[in-house]
Amino acid sequence: MRPSPISAGPARGEEPSRAALRELLSADARHVAPLLLGAVLTHQGRDGSVSVRITEVEAYLGPHDSLYPDPGSHTFRGATARNAPMFGPAGHLYVYFTYGMHHCANIVCGPEGTASGLLLRAGEVVAGHELARARRPTSKSAKDLASGPARLAKALGLTTADSGRDALGAPFRLELPQHPVSGISAGISTGPRVGVSGAGGTDEYPWRFWLSGDPTVSRYKAAKVRPA
């Protein structure tokens, strides 16, 4: 068996359509973001299937691929056991646990090793409402089912057990929208990231992307400032 070629391209032997999708995701996260908006992520769990149309994402950059360091990124201080999937190939999931109770999911982007990705901040449940509702009994309306990063992860049934798994293959599926070529970036807004304080949380870094006017997009809240 020959050693694998030195190439940042898709894995050998991958089905062409999946390889093409992975190639698209292997671009800079800030360029991938508009492609992911409107895309549908499906998770087929043992208890059923839920599909979410992604309406809001945030780019997090790796320690070496950006013009500026990104202290808001989990990869800012290098690889750890938790963030290892971020250093892997594009299209895989990085799921982390935070605040003692919430899971949040990212799609890894960029060439392998750059450790950047897109946090899935909000979406609209487009299939599997009953299961999503069962997973999130506290949601008051359909639009609340995945309107927030932890809500989205919960609705899709994602946990840290899914971190590192390929979002482009079973039991997952990722379908990009058929954007008219002329309107790829139409209806997309950008702004500062949510909940990131200090550098990377200001509008120097407008790395939050959402579908303009979409009702599932979370309202902007400035990073919490603690009293002196």
Partner DNA sequence: CGGTCGATACACT
Partner DNA sequence: GTGTATCGACCGT
Footprint of DNA (CB under 7 A):
58, 60, 72-75, 77, 80-83, 86, 94, 96-102, 104, 106, 117, 119, 136, 138-139, 144, 148-152, 193-197, 218-219, 221, 224
Residue number, 10 or 151, with CB nearest to DNA: 151
Phi, psi of 153 (to 5 degrees): -60, -40
Within 8 A by CB and 6+ apart from 74, the residues are 60, 82, 83, 86, 94, 96
Q: Tell me the closest approach of the beta carbon of residue 42 to DNA, in angstroms.
A: 20
Q: Shortest approach of DNA to residue 65 CB, angstroms? A: 14
User: What b/e sequence results for 111-130 when a residue is b if at least 16 CB atoms lie within 10 Å of its CB, and e otherwise?
Assistant: bbebbbbbbbbbbbbeebee
Are 220 and 201 contacting, i.e. CB atoms less than 8 angstroms apart?
no
Cβ-based burial of 228 (10 A; exposed 0-12, middle 13-18, buried ≥19)? exposed
User: Looking at the DSSP assignment, which residues form a beta bridge with residue 107?
Assistant: 93, 118
Q: Which is nearer to DNA, 10 or 86 (CB)?
A: 86
Tally of CA atoms within 13 A in the half-sphere of 5 that contains its CB: 7
Query: Measured from the CB of residue 219, what is the shortest distance to DNA in angstroms?
Result: 6
Residues in Cβ contact with 10 at an 8 Å cutoff, skipping those fewer than 6 apart: 18, 19, 20, 22, 23, 26
Find the shortest distance in angstroms from Cβ 87 to DNA: 11
CB of 46 to DNA, least distance (A): 22
Q: Least distance (Å) from DNA to the CB of residue 106?
A: 5
Of 46 and 226, nearer to DNA (C-beta) is 226
